Amino acid sequence: MEKKILRLHQRYSLYIVLAGFVSFILLGIVIYYKVGNMMVDQSKSNAMGLAVIAANEIDGDKFEKIESKQDDAYYEVLESITKYTDYNMLQYIYTMRLKGETVTFVVDADPDDPAEFGEEYEIVKAMEPAFHGQVSCDQKLIKDKWGSFFSAYAPIFNSEREVVGIVGCDIRTADIMNRLSRLRVVIITLITIFALISVVTLVMIARDMMLRDSLTEIFNENKLKDVAQRLKRNNKLKDYTGMLVNVKDFKYINRQIGFNKGDEILRRYANYLNRLLVRGEYVARTGNDNFLMLVKKGREDVILNVLSPLELSVEIENTKQLLRIYSRCGMYSIDENDSLSGVMNNCTLAVNSTRNVDSDDYAWYSESMSAQMMEEKAILSNYKQAIKDGEFKVFYQPKVNIDDKSLCGAEALVRWIKDGKMISPGQFIPILEREGKITELDFFVFEQVCKDIRKWLDEGLTPVRISSNFSKMHLKNPKLSEQVLEMAGRYNVSSDYIEVELTESSGYSDFNSLDKFVHDMGAAGIYTSIDDFGTGYSSLSMLKDIDVDVVKIDKSFFDNMGDDKQNGTNLVENVIRMIKDLDRIVICEGVETEKQVDFLKDTECNIVQGFLFDKPLPREQFEERLRAPQY
C-alpha cells in the first residue's frame, strides 16, 4: 500500500506541486484583498477610536479648550485628549461642540442646519436613543471632489447625555492605499519567492522523472551515470561491482502471459531487485529486461543466491499462476579508472557469455571477452567486403549411404579463408546470425552451390543432391521460397539436386512460416531438412506437423549417449525408428567411428555424414568424389 502511494506520489508529484503552486497563488490573492480590507477596517477603526476618545474627553471642562484652528496647539490638545499621534492618515479632524445650550462647530458646518451637516447628523441623531452610557460612532466611505474619504465621527454628549456635539475625522483612502500598496509589495515579493522556489522544485522533479524509468520507476541509465560520476569523484566507485541482470526468456514470458502482465512482471522484478540492495547500492533499468546494479564488493553472492529463480504469482484469466523467473547475470569488479559505460560494456560481455548453451547463468567479466568482442566487431565490419573479395569458399561434405558405401549427397559448408588462414563457421556464423546478417551469406553460398552444380552438369559430371544451410532468420522473409526458386532457375538447376537445411524453429510464428516454406519447396520438388535434430527445441511431435523430407540427427545426440550406453543407444534407436515411422529420411551427422556405423546399420539409418568418410572438402576434391562416388 505504502509502495503504491509512493508510486502514485512519484507519478503525480509534478501535478501535486502544480496544484500547490496554484493554491498558493489563489491564497495569495485572497490574502492580498482580505488583508487589504483588514487594513482599511483597521484604519477606519482608528478613526473611530479617535473620535470616540475625543467624544469622551470633550465632555466636561476640557470642552472649551479646543481650538478650531488646526495648528500645532490644536494637535497638542487633540493629542493630549486622544493619545493618538499618528496624524499622517488623518486628512481632516473636525470638532463640533456645545456652548451653553448652543452647539458651536469648529468646522464650518452649521449645526442648526441638518442639510449642511448632511447625513452624518441624521446618523448621530439616530444613535441618540440607543446611547446609554456607551460611546458609539459610525463611519462610511465618502466620495467628493477631494477624493475618497473614510469619515468617522462620534457624538459628544452633555451630562444629561444629550448629544451636544460631534467629533470626527476623515481619512483619505489614498493614504490607506499607500499603506496597502506597501503591504502588497510584501505579498507580491513573497509570491514571487514562492513561485521561484516552485519552479526550481518543478524543474528538479521533472529532472528526477526524466532520470527514472517510466515503466518500473526505478532509476534509468542516465541517473545511474550521474550516481557513478558522483561515486567516482569521491573515489568510491572502485568499491563496487557492476552486476548486469537479465531476465531469461522474457520474450517467452511476454508471449505466454501477454504484454501487460509482462510489464507488471518487469515492475515487480525491478522492485524485487531494489529491495535486495542495502544503503549506498543502486539499480537502474537499462532497457528491456536488463538491469544494472552497483553492488558493494563482497555482496555479489548474496544477490546471486536470492535472484534465481524468483517466484511471482500472477493472475491470468482469473486464476493465480506461479511464474518462475530465471535470471542471468554478468559481473564486473570496477576499478578506479572505470566509467559507467565501461562497466556496462564489460557486464554486457559477461552476461552475453552466459547465453551459450552450456554456460552458467552467472559470469565474471574477463579480458578474453573483450578480445572476443573485438574479433566479433572485426567480423561484422569485414564480412561484406570479404564476400566481394571472394574470401568465402564453399566446401562440400559428402553424405554416404552406409549400405553400399556410396556417395549419395553432400552438404555445402562455408569457409572464410582470410590471408591463407581458415576461419571456421563456428566463429562467424553465430555472430552474423545474432546480428541478423546471415541471410546474405546464405544466399551467396546457395548461389555458389547452384553455379557449381551447373558447372558439373555442363562438364558432364553427375552431381548429387547438395544441401545448403539456411538460417531460420530467413523465415521472416515472406519471399524466401520465391527467391530460392528464382536462384535455382537462374542456373537452370533441377530441383533434384537441391536441398535446404533449416534448424528447427522454436516459436509458433516461425512454425507457420516454416510450414509454408517447406510446403512451397515440396511443391517445387526441392527437399527440405531439419538440421541438428536433438538439440535445442527439437521435438518429435513437431515433426508430425511439418512435412520435411529429411531429419538430420546431430552429432551431440550420439555424444549424449553418455555413460549409460545401453539407455543411450536405445534412445537413439527409438528416435530413429520413430522418425522413420513418420516416413522421413534420417541422416546421422558427425559419424567418426566404424562402431557408430555398425550401430547405425542395426537401426534404420543408412545415410551418414562424418569425418569417418570425409571432412568438408574444397570443391576440386569433392569433384574427385563425384567422379569416384564409391568408398
Binding ligand C2E by CB under 6 A: which of 531, 551, 575, 587? 531
**Nearest distance from residue 349's CB to ligand C2E, in Å?**
23
Distance CA 222, CA 212 (A): 8
- Interaction of residue 534 with ligand C2E, rule CB under 6 A: no
Span from 231-239, 375-383, 453-461, 609-617 in contact with ligand C2E (CB under 6 A):
609-617
Binding ligand C2E by CB under 6 A: which of 611, 618, 624, 627? 611
CA 509 from centre of chain: 28
Span from 273-281, 302-310, 351-359, 604-612 in contact with ligand C2E (CB under 6 A):
604-612
**Residue type present at position 430:** P
* Interface pattern 302-331 for ligand C2E (x via CB under 6 A): ------------------------------
Binding ligand C2E by CB under 6 A: which of 54, 294, 413, 588? 413
- Among Mg ion, ligand C2E, none, the one that 623 touches (CB under a kind-dependent 5 to 8 A) is none
Q: Copy the grid coordinates of residue 139.
A: 463611519
Distance CA 127, CA 145 (A): 28
Q: Copy the grid coordinates of residue 118.
A: 448632511
Span from 184-192, 197-205, 226-234, 603-611 in contact with ligand C2E (CB under 6 A):
603-611
**Residue type present at position 79:** E
Binding positions for ligand C2E, 145-174, rule CB under 6 A: none
Asked if 617 and 395 count as a contact pair (C-beta separation under 8 A), the reply is: yes
Q: Copy the grid coordinates of residue 63.
A: 470642552
Task: Write the CA distances from 587 to 127, 604, 618, integer angstroms.
Answer: 123, 10, 22
Contact residues: Mg ion, CB under 5 A: 469, 501, 531-532, 589
Distance CA 173, CA 90 (A): 10
Binding positions for ligand C2E, 554-583, rule CB under 6 A: 555
Distance CA 399, CA 396 (A): 9
Q: Is 566 exposed, middle or buried (0-12, 13-18, 19+ CB in 10 A)?
A: exposed
Binding ligand C2E by CB under 6 A: which of 205, 592, 619, 623? 592
**Nearest distance from residue 342's CB to ligand C2E, in Å?**
33
Residue in 202, 211, 212 with CA at minimum distance from that of residue 16:
202
Binding ligand C2E by CB under 6 A: which of 93, 124, 438, 500? 438
* Buried-exposed string 490-524: b where 16+ CB fall within 10 A, e elsewhere: eeebebebbbbbbbbbeeeebbebbbebbebbeee
- Interaction of residue 138 with ligand C2E, rule CB under 6 A: no
List the beta bridge partners of residue 323.
312
**Nearest distance from residue 370's CB to Mg ion, in Å?**
31
- Interaction of residue 471 with ligand C2E, rule CB under 6 A: yes
Residue in 111, 113, 165, 170 with CA at minimum distance from that of residue 142:
170
Q: Which residue's CB is nearer to ligand C2E, number 289 or number 532?
A: 532
Task: Write the CA distances from 36 to 31, 32, 40, 561, integer angstroms.
Answer: 8, 6, 6, 96
* Interface pattern 479-518 for ligand C2E (x via CB under 6 A): ----------------------x-----------------
Q: CB 558: neighbour CB atoms within 10 A?
A: 22
* Buried-exposed string 428-439: b where 16+ CB fall within 10 A, e elsewhere: bbebbbeeebbb
**Nearest distance from residue 406's CB to ligand C2E, in Å?**
18
List the beta bridge partners of residue 569.
none
Sign of CA dihedral 94, 96, 99, 104: positive
- Interaction of residue 397 with ligand C2E, rule CB under 6 A: yes
Binding ligand C2E by CB under 6 A: which of 48, 78, 257, 429? 429
Q: Which residue's CB is nearer to ligand C2E, number 24 or number 444?
A: 444
- Interaction of residue 265 with ligand C2E, rule CB under 6 A: no
Span from 32-40, 487-495, 573-581, 586-594 in contact with ligand C2E (CB under 6 A):
586-594
Q: Which residue's CB is nearer to Mg ion, number 242 or number 534?
A: 534
- Interaction of residue 426 with ligand C2E, rule CB under 6 A: yes
Which spans of this chain sit near ligand C2E (rule: CB under 6 A)? Answer: 397, 413-414, 424-426, 429, 438, 442, 445, 469, 471, 501, 531-532, 555, 589-592, 609-611, 616
